[in-house]
Structure 1
Amino acid sequence: MNGGRLVIRSGSVDISVVDRGGDGPLLVLLHGLAGSARELFPTADALTDAFRVVVVDQRGHGHSTRRPEQLSRAAFVNDIVQVITQFSPDRAATLIGQSMGAHTAFLTAAARPDLVERLVMLEGHVSGSDQPDETARLGAFFDSWPVTFADPEEARSFLGESVLTEAWISDLEPTSEGLRRRFDADVMQRTIEAVHEPRWAEWEALTVPTLAVFAENGMFSAEQKAELIRRRPRTLRADIRDASHDAHLDGFDGWIGVLRDHLVNGRER
């Protein structure tokens, strides 16, 4: 099963998994909202000397089922359970997620600690959101995109220039009408609505060793970062300087340094 893109059936949904290789214990990488496995390939390839690394397109994203009926957090968790049990039936895995992917990874570790050896959350949180219109704004933003772009330059002109834009552009799907995004706006809105529910009870009861990684210029305030650690004091924390919420893209060297120190070299940072 080593190498290439595979499809795992999770209920009525196809989950696309890219196996980047390696011969160590299983490590599963999870992207954020409206992202895909592709943006985490460089992270995966930096860790294959120590792990067997697979990268998942979560439901509603990438090459996985685009319009799944179920978008609950439990459905996302079950998908990752299926991935772990298929790729590593005899040993627990390490989960690494960014943003929404961190939330999925955390809930998987909380629900199935027998399957998760270690957890790393990049720019993830469990407090939810107290801004009721935030999900609607996100949905409206994605819905404002043209159905297709003629070429990458047109996409760049519409979306602007940033590391996140480049990740979106590199993942556009070629069609006979042009380049199309690999997700639907309403699915993204429904997905993030579930992420925005507070999950403090699961966080405080979490038994899996956990590293929370934050970016200096990320999404969360100093108070939010501190609260995550205060409410689960055994959580390790690392910070990446001069990086944004998408630190796996614009703070790559710092991000990989944190991961290697924590997962490969066994140092706390």
Structure 2
Amino acid sequence: MTHTTSGTLTTPDGTHIAHRDHHPAGTPTTTFLLLHGLAGHQGEWDTLAARLSADGHRVVTYDARGHGASTRTPPTTTRAAHVQDALTLIEELGLAPVTLLGQSLGGHTAMLLAASHPHLVRSLILIEAGPAGPAPDLPAQIAAWLDGWPTPFKSLEEAEAFLGHEAWTRTLVQREDGWHPAWDRTTIVASVAELATTAYWEEWSRITCPMLLIQGEHGTMRPGEPAEMLTHRPDTRLIRIPDAAHDVHLDQPARLHEAIAAFLSD
């Protein structure tokens, strides 16, 4: 039986971070911190978190700053601020040594944390995330993606049909004219500003813990990026999940769970 508690903690810059802590009965085998991607929320992890908890692991999820139930417009959205949020969770909830599992921008945060605080991290699992850059067009691409949402949605069914997964509809807010995103556009676009100008190969090369890189068969990583990641760190395990795009955890949660379980068993 898993016991789940919800809470909110405050980071050094005053940002409130909403989180959920799934405790298994007995002593956990592994402690996970799960980090979602841009414009997402912690509920995306529900299916995988349930599977990991059933295996006897402790699983903590949270809404990144500017996302979900966390502070909607935080004072800053830098990469360092995102890393500090994860660090605050690890320290205040006593998660170390922790296995970091992050998708997309959350994976990038997890990678930077593993590079800067190796003593806190047992292992690192990246889903559709890596150190490549710079990407000058990224902020404009993200802005165009957000602006392309045909909001307000008339119904949650319409929203799910457009967004692709039910999980993406859970943070929509209902108003008189329909369903609207809860995020602040400026905050979301600003969250990728540093990725437009910076590559992070040095940080990737500094990581010392065991690493698993998971790609979706139809994902959006740069061509050649996974191969270059293995060139820098040949001990990294790479797995490609069939019939999955960028949101591997939503497209193929069972296959993702199998890949994680195999990685842990080694």
- Same fold, judged at TM 0.5 (above): yes
Displacement of 1:232: 1.6
User: Please, what is the CA RMSD of the aligned residues?
Assistant: 2.0
- Segment of structure 1 superposing worse, 244-253 or 190-199: 190-199
Q: Matched residue pairs, number?
A: 258
Q: Which amino acid aligns with 1:181?
A: P
- Pick from 99, 106, 127 the counterpart of residue 101 of structure 1: 106
TM-score, normalised relative to structure 2: 0.90
Identical-residue share of aligned pairs (%): 34
SS at match of 1:47: helix
Matched, 1:198 2:203: no
Structure-to-structure mapping, 1:210-249, within 5 angstroms: 210-249=211-250
Contact 1:119 1:209 in 2 (8 A): yes
Contact 1:40 1:55 in 2 (8 A): yes
SS at match of 2:32: strand
Partner of residue 151, structure 1: 155
Rate the CA distance shift 1:161–1:6 in 2: closer, same or farther, 3 A. Answer: closer
CA distance in 2, matches of 1:156, 1:122: 22
Q: Which amino acid aligns with 1:17?
A: H
- Pick from 70, 85, 94 the counterpart of residue 88 of structure 1: 94
Rate the CA distance shift 1:243–1:153 in 2: closer, same or farther, 3 A. Answer: closer
Matched, 1:20 2:25: no
Rate the CA distance shift 1:21–1:174 in 2: closer, same or farther, 3 A. Answer: farther
Displacement of 1:185: 1.5
Contact 2:39 2:183 in 1 (8 A): yes
Displacement of 1:34: 0.6
Displacement of 1:221: 4.6
Partner of residue 111, structure 1: 116
- Pick from 125, 129, 132 the counterpart of residue 130 of structure 2: 125
- Segment of structure 1 superposing worse, 4-13 or 138-147: 138-147
CA distance in 2, matches of 1:115, 1:140: 37
- Pick from 36, 46, 51 the counterpart of residue 46 of structure 1: 51
Contact 1:110 1:208 in 2 (8 A): no
CA distance in 2, matches of 1:148, 1:96: 32
Contact 1:140 1:185 in 2 (8 A): no
* Unaligned stretches of 5+ residues in structure 2: none
Q: Which amino acid aligns with 1:27?
A: F
1:180-203 Cα deviation digits (max 9, x unpaired): 312122111110122342111111
Partner of residue 170, structure 2: 170
- Pick from 143, 156, 159 the counterpart of residue 139 of structure 1: 143
CA distance in 2, matches of 1:227, 1:30: 23
SS at match of 1:17: strand
SS at match of 1:19: strand
